[in-house]
Amino acid sequence: MMRATRREFAVLGIAALVGRPASAQNNAAPLITRAIPRTGERIPAVGLGTAYVFDRENQQTQNAATEVVRTLIESGGQLIDTASTYGDAESVLGDVIAHEGTREKLFIATKLEAPDAAELKRSLSRLKTAKLDLLQLHNVRNPRQSLAQFKAWKAQGICRYIGVTSTFHGDFAAMESVIAREQPDFVQIDYSLDDREAQKRILPLAAETKAAVLTAQPLGRGRLFRAVRGKPVPDWAQGFAGSWAQFFLKYLISDERVTAVIPGTANPVHMADNLGAMRGNLPDREQRARMVSFLETL
C-alpha cells in the first residue's frame, strides 16, 4: 500500500522533494550510525524493510531488488530486514546478494514465526547464507514466550543477535513481559510520527534492558504521505529534511533509543531518498514537538 501511495504522492507533490538545503541532502555529510547497546557495534541508522515489496520471485522483482540493494550499499547502508513469511522476499534477496557478492557488506536480519529448526533451515537456504546477523521471533503474542531456542542458535554461531517483533498494539503487554524476562538483543516495533504508542511503552523498556530498536513501518503505512499530499516541507524543517520521507524518518532517528529505521521500498529513487535521512542535521527536542503539532493540524 505504501508503494502506490508514495508513487502517487511523488507525481503530485514533486516540488516538495527537491531544492532543499545541502545540509539535509549532502552525501558528504557524516553518516549517522547507532551503537547496538549490548556490544557497541555501530550500524547505519537507515536500512531496508522488505514486507510486501519483494514478495514475488520474478525478473521484475529481481531487477528492482538488485537496484535497491546496490543503492543501499553505495549510500553507506547495511541493514536489510526480511522474514520467512514475506512471500519470496528471502529468496529474492538471497539471489541478489549471492550474485552481487555483497554478503559481507550487509547486516541481514530475518524473522521466524516460531522457534522451528525447519523454518530456520529454510530461511538460511533461501538467503544463501550460513549465518545471520539478527534472528527475530516474529509477532510475539504470548507473554510467557521463551527465547531459549533462539539463544541456543546464537550460542551455536548461527546468528550474532536475537530479537523479538510486534506490529500490533494489542500485543505490547506480551512484548513487555518477554523483553523484561528474556532480554533480547533487539526489539522491532511499528513506530512512526503518527503512531507513537511504542514511544510510551516499548522504547523505555528497550533502553532499560539495553535492547537495540528497529522501527518497522516508519512512514506510517502510507498515512503520512497522504496527510501531506501536495504540501511542501515547511520552512522551519528545511535545515534537516530534504523531503517528506526524511522529515518522517528523522523524527524517529532523532530519538537516541532508536537504532535504525527500516522503511520498505522496491524503488531505488525512494531508497536513496530514505537514506538521505541518515546524513545531516537531526531535529532537536523543540523541533520534534513542533513536528508532532504540525502533523496534528493536518
Q: What is the CATH number of the domain that holds 144?
A: 3.20.20.100
pLDDT of residue 24: 39
Give the neighbor-by-neighbor strand order of the sheet with 260-261: 48-49, 79-81, 107-112, 132-137, 159-166, 186-190, 212-216, 260-261
- List of residues 6+ apart from 143 with CB closer than 8 A: 173, 174, 176, 177, 178
Structural domain includes residue 11: yes
pLDDT of residue 6: 59
Structural domain includes residue 79: yes
pLDDT of residue 28: 74
At how many degrees (to 10) do helices 172-182 and 197-208 cross?
A: 10
Q: Is the pLDDT of residue 50 over 60?
A: yes
pLDDT of residue 26: 55
213 close to 35: Cβ distance less than 8 angstroms = no
Structural domain includes residue 27: no
pLDDT of residue 16: 37
Question: Which one-letter DSSP state was computed for residue 45?
Answer: S
**Rounded distance, CA 198 to CA 260, Å?**
14
- What pLDDT digit, counting tens, does each position of 181-226 carry? 999 999 999 999 999 999 999 999 999 999 999 999 999 989 999 9
Counted residue by residue, the chain has a size of 298
Structural domain includes residue 7: yes
Q: Is the pLDDT of residue 20 over 80?
A: no
Tell whether the torsion through CA atoms of 258, 259, 265 and 271 is positive or negative: positive
Q: Is the pLDDT of residue 27 over 70?
A: no
**Rounded distance, CA 261 to CA 28, Å?**
21
Lowest mean pLDDT segment, chosen from 15-29, 64-78, 176-190: 15-29
For residue 152, the tally of other CB atoms under 10 A from its CB is: 12
Structural domain includes residue 161: yes
Q: Is the pLDDT of residue 11 over 80?
A: no
Percent of the chain topping pLDDT 70: 91
pLDDT of residue 29: 87
Structural domain includes residue 160: yes
46 close to 260: Cβ distance less than 8 angstroms = yes
- What pLDDT digit, counting tens, does each position of 96-148 carry? 999 999 999 999 999 999 999 999 999 999 999 999 999 999 999 999 999 99
Q: Give phi and psi for 228, each to the nearest 5.
A: -110, 15
Chain mean pLDDT for the chain: 92
Structural domain includes residue 218: yes
Residue 44, beta-bridge partner list? 33
Count structural domains, the chain: 1
Q: Is the pLDDT of residue 18 over 80?
A: no
Q: Given pLDDT bands bounded at 50, 70 and 90, which one contains residue 4?
A: very low
Residue 87 lies in domain: 2-17+32-296
Q: What is the dihedral of CA 106, 140, 196, 269, to 10 degrees?
A: 30
Tell whether the torsion through CA atoms of 266, 272, 273 and 275 is positive or negative: positive
Structural domain includes residue 26: no
